Amino acid sequence: MRKWGMVLVALLLAGCTNLPTSGPVQVGGPLDTVDDTLVQYLPAGPAAGATQQEIIDGFIAAGAAAQDDYRVARSFLTDDFAAAWNPQQESVVRGQTSSISVVGNATARFTTDVSARITGGGFYSVEESGTSQSFEFGMEQVNGEWRISSAPDAVFVSQATFASTYQAFTVYFYNATRTQYVPDVRYFPRAGDPVTDVARAVVAGPSEFLPYATTAFPDATTLVATPVDVVDGRAMVDVSADVLDSTPNDKRAMLAQLTASLDAISGVSSVSLTVDRSILAMSGGVEPNATVEPLVNDNPLAAVDGSFGYIFGSTVEPIGRLGDAIMALKPTAVSYHDTGVAAVGTSKGVYFVGDSQIRVSKTKSAVQPQIDGSNAVWWVSPGDPSVIQVHTSGQAKTFTGPWGDSGRIVSLEVSRDDARLAIGVNTASGPRLYVASIGRDGKGHLSEIGGFHRLPIQGKVLVDLAWADATNVAVISQTATVSYVELASIGGVTTTMGQPLKPVSIVGGNGRAELVVRSSDGELWQPRAGGWQAIGVTVDLLATQH
């Protein structure tokens, strides 16, 4: 199923190149398709007469080679332990410092800095700086050769190896009404079996960070036949009989959910759901009309010289009466929904503007107010900057988060699926970026917020944020000397995107290439040719499109 352009035989030992932790550079983000032209790492197996330390070294290096169910790594183990070892349990992303010590005749200890972990299900989490851990290995001689008889259910990869041998995959769930797909990003080995990994993740259900996302699969459902067979491009996903009693609508929703998740993987063109290897009947029922990622106008939306509209080249195309109503308020910030409503921030308060106009706050907002698909308006009071304020269905609601009373919210934005909220907070210990899950009732009205997931960012101060796409949040970060843009995946991996000039606000378009930054002098910048380029337009205000 896979074609590899090159096989690189390499033994990856403890020393490795460290990834940059500060200073902006232009880096490409993760892709959801497996690139079959990438190098496949194939470390060597155990050498005759290898010492205990050399066996441990070789085993650790072989953790980068997931092909054939970690065949090379298992060759360093005794036969009994090779059958029992579970490398899918955890992947440890190690730092620069590690050591191996032999303790007695039959025990070894591997100690390493730990920068991140990938736990079962592909969940990536960053460790606090300075985290270190020791792992015990049992050793045994087999026919005069040292082999590992006990070890953690884990593989160990360097930071550089992780970047080249693991890949982000998007797993989809639903919102409460199944009108939107809610994405979750997981990390699996490129050379492993991503079809099986992703299918298992879908069947297992949403992560703890998506408590209000839903799945069509019954709670007890499991993936039965593994690996998942792919025949002539069709993935045959065999699950437990729990699905047989589901409604026709649920069965179609299960298949749609799997198809959306597996569709981006190379070699998969269609999906069948099976029980006991028999295709599950899909008679009756209606497939959910869910959207993977809602789109907005490709052009920036801004206020220029008294007009509010889309930027085409160097001109503004006004949006009509709504734009006139917005400009009459002398806006300092605008969040616009293409259904013809907007949240407007002014020096005198916060407004909902549509067919009618509602003043939802008599004080200005400490952040750019935001609109969502239920016409709720989100803002933060300067007098209580740690609390999220929401005007929804004629009611005022407040929400707090894990940053505590001392945190100061400086930016927030609801994702276009209306299922998640990105929050930027500055604290005395540095900036924090969170993505939270939004709970809604059957009518789509906001009910609660939970599942706060902290994403790693650098810098000393967070200036602004925007959803770059459904799975990435773009952040303007600031140090003592420079400002730059970071791209934080909801999966937990953050890269940098370079330095636009004097950035003060950022908005998203349709993908990271359509991000737009406004500088302190009003000039607009977009990612171009490996950096940022001014597009030749100066605006008074740059609006968010929802």
Structure confidence by residue, pLDDT tens digits, 293-319: 899 999 999 999 999 999 998 899 999
At residue 37 the predicted structure's pLDDT band, cuts being 50, 70 and 90, is very low
Residue 342 phi/psi, 5-degree rounding, is: -155, 150
Query: Of 94-103, 140-149, 320-329, 378-387, where does mean pLDDT reach its minimum?
Result: 94-103
| N-terminal to C-terminal alpha carbon distance within the chain | 40
State how far the Cα of 60 lies from the Cα of 148, in Å rounded to an integer.
Answer: 11
**For 221-260, what is each residue's pLDDT tens digit?**
999 999 999 999 999 999 999 999 999 999 999 999 999 9
Residue 125 pLDDT exceeds 80 = yes
Residue 199 pLDDT exceeds 80 = yes
Mean per-residue pLDDT, 107-135:
94
Per-residue pLDDT, 85:
98
Query: Of 30-39, 246-255, 432-441, where does mean pLDDT reach its minimum?
Result: 30-39
**For 56-112, what is each residue's pLDDT tens digit?**
999 999 999 999 999 999 999 999 999 999 999 999 999 889 999 998 889 999 999
At residue 442 the predicted structure's pLDDT band, cuts being 50, 70 and 90, is confident
Rounded to 10°, the helix 52-62/67-74 angle is 170
Per-residue pLDDT, 11:
30
Burial class (CB in 10 A: 0-12, 13-18, 19+), 156: buried
CB neighbours of 182 closer than 8 A, spacing ≥ 6?
172, 173, 174, 175, 206, 210, 213, 417, 419, 420
At residue 34 the predicted structure's pLDDT band, cuts being 50, 70 and 90, is very low
Tell me which amino acid residue 112 is.
T
Per-residue pLDDT, 40:
65
**For 278-299, what is each residue's pLDDT tens digit?**
999 999 999 999 999 899 999 9
Output the six-digit token pair for 11.
């033994």
DSSP 8-state code for residue 18: P
Contact (Cβ atoms closer than 8 angstroms) between residue 150 and residue 169: no
**For 369-428, what is each residue's pLDDT tens digit?**
999 999 999 999 999 999 999 999 999 999 999 999 999 999 999 999 999 999 999 999
Residue 188 pLDDT exceeds 70 = yes
Tell me which amino acid residue 211 is.
P
